[in-house]
Amino acid sequence: MKLSTRARYGTRALLDLAQNYGDQVIPLKDIAKRQQISLSYLEHLVGPLVDARLVQSVRGAKGGLKLAKSPDAIKLSEVVSLLEGPIEPVDCIHSPDKCDRARYCPTRDVWNDMGRAMNEVLNQTTLADLVSRQQAKMSQDGDMYYI
């Protein structure tokens, strides 16, 4: 399964908000610039995130976005399924009527196992986990100076 830019960019935008979590509102153009995502494309991704109440949108000159929940309460499974739809490698997993061979197909079992494994990883990973991973990667990258 290959994730589209919707899920990848939406997750990056949420990660940006999680890194700046608090009472402050982050302008969408700032997120777009930091994440190197087209502002117009990002505007399309925000709607479903606001509708799902993952993000709050504040209008006006000092407007922007902020997370509606804490980063540790937002699972990647929620984000990916919201932006991509069901997380399954093939249609016949949840709709066996789409394939005449579904009842006897041994590969369907493998695709089902694969889908469960992907869902498990996404269910166990929160935005807070991504923030921690980002911080760890950034600390590995920089030069350390000791006095």
Domain ranges of the chain: 5-133
132 token code pair: 């921690």
- Give the model confidence (pLDDT) of 43-90 as tens digits: 999 999 999 999 999 988 888 999 999 999 999 999 999 999 888 888
The CATH class of 5-133 is: mainly alpha
pTM: 0.86
- The pLDDT confidence band at residue 143, using thresholds 50, 70 and 90, is low
For the segment 12-30, the average pLDDT, to the nearest whole number, is 94
DSSP 92-138: GGT-GGG-TTGGG-HHHHHHHHHHHHHHHHHHH-BHHHHHHHHHHHH
Per the prediction, the chain carries an average pLDDT of 90
